[in-house]
Amino acid sequence: MTQEPLGRVFAALADPTRRAVVLELGAGATATATELARRHPMSRQAIAKHLAVLEDAGLVTHARHGRETRYALDVAPLGEAAGWLATAGAAWDDRLARLARAARRP
Amino acid sequence: MRNHVIAKGADVPPTGPSIEREIVLPVPAEEAWELLSDAERLEEWLAPEVDLVPEPGTPLHVRDDDGTERIGVVDAVEPGECLVFRWWPVDDPDRESTVELVLEPAVGGTRLVVVETMRSFGGPTAWGVRLQACAAATRLPTRA
């Protein structure tokens, strides 16, 4: 398992249930594991495992309110992922511009 | 019948975010392939310093004009049609990505489609369509 933060973000988002959880938490509200589990065909324990992966990637945080643990989204790591995409895209734009010129040389 | 060779280590498919770009080159396919497969021609566009041999399993080395040094390995080659390799910055090997360069006939020349996919560890197995096309003749084990 990668120790590198960006790799953990991508690994976390590679799972469709985790992506759904990110979207659900991103809609603004915090939620408990039980509330999240209700929206998926899986147990609270299964959702808790996904939440652990998301927390390890820094995408989700939790806070205890009495006997409840509520989960919230942290968008900061997504910015890094978006940053990679933008940088990689710009690099290929430059490369393809140079390729177009190279193709026209005899 | 295609004769594909896939390097060992290429059996973990690229998953994770990817970007795609394409360009139509005003040249025939053979010339387009040369631009992709000849290190000297690659140095005209991919990066100022390129050491790459289009043979699966061979290591590659690329240095960008901003000094970024990447190393990697060629994963799959279908001469004239596609080149797939993995690379990563020498100082950050976890930031590995897979690059697929695919040539297709097009009006006015040859289309190059580039897909770079960040390698995601522990993700589900999901082959890119083009990598599948490149690997069509080889059965690869998939990992859960």
Q: What is the DSSP string of B44-107?
A: TTT-SEEE--SSTT-EEEEE-TT--EEEEEEEEEETTTEEEEEEEETT-TTS-EEEEEEEEEET
CB atoms within 10 A of CB A17: 17
The token pair that represents B40 in the structure block:
């000297």
What pairing do the DSSP bridges indicate for beta strands B59-63 and B69-78?
Answer: antiparallel
The token pair that represents A4 in the structure block:
């590198």
Quote the pLDDT of residue B2.
Answer: 34
Q: Against a cut of 0.80, is the pTM above it?
A: no
Q: What's the rounded Cα separation, in Å, for the pair A18 and A46? A: 11
Q: What is the DSSP letter of A78?
A: H
- CB-CB contact of A6 with A80 (8 Å): yes
pLDDT digits (tens, 9 = 90+) for B57-87: 999 999 998 899 999 999 999 999 999 999 9
pLDDT at A79 over 60: yes
Q: What's the rounded Cα separation, in Å, for the pair B10 and A54? A: 27
The more confident residue out of A92 and A83 is A92
pLDDT at B1 over 70: no
Which of B17, B32, B119 comes nearest A81 by C-beta? B17
Residues 69-88 of A with CB under 8 A from B: 81, 84-85, 88
B116 to chain A: closest CA residue: A88
- CB-CB contact of B51 with B60 (8 Å): yes
Q: Tell which of A4, A13, A92 to mutate to test the B interface (max B CBs under 10 Å).
A: A92
Whether A27 has its CB under 8 Å from any CB of chain B: the answer is no
Mean pLDDT of chain A: 87
From A75-89, B40-54, B108-122, the region with the lowest mean pLDDT: A75-89
Quote the pLDDT of residue A98.
Answer: 96
Quote the pLDDT of residue A8.
Answer: 83
pLDDT digits (tens, 9 = 90+) for B84-104: 999 999 998 878 899 999 999
Mean pLDDT of chain B: 80
Residues on chain A touching B46 (C-beta within 8 angstroms): 95, 99
pLDDT at B141 over 50: no
Give how far the C-alpha of residue B82 lies from the chain's centroid of Cα atoms, to the nearest Å.
7
Burial of B74 (0-12, 13-18, 19+ CB in 10 A): buried
pLDDT at A85 over 90: no
- CB-CB contact of B86 with B75 (8 Å): yes
Question: What would the mean pLDDT of B25-32 be, rounded to a whole number?
Answer: 96
Quote the pLDDT of residue B77.
Answer: 96
Q: What's the rounded Cα separation, in Å, for the pair B67 and A83? A: 19
Confidence of residue A84 (pLDDT cuts 50, 70, 90): confident
| ipTM of this predicted structure | 0.79
Residues on chain A touching B116 (C-beta within 8 angstroms): 88, 92
pLDDT digits (tens, 9 = 90+) for A29-54: 789 999 999 998 899 999 999 999 99
A70: nearest Cα among A26, A41, A36: A36
Taking an 8 Å cut-off on Cβ atoms, the answer to whether B112 and A99 are in contact is yes
Taking an 8 Å cut-off on Cβ atoms, the answer to whether B121 and A11 are in contact is yes
Instruction: Give the amino acid at B85.
Output: F
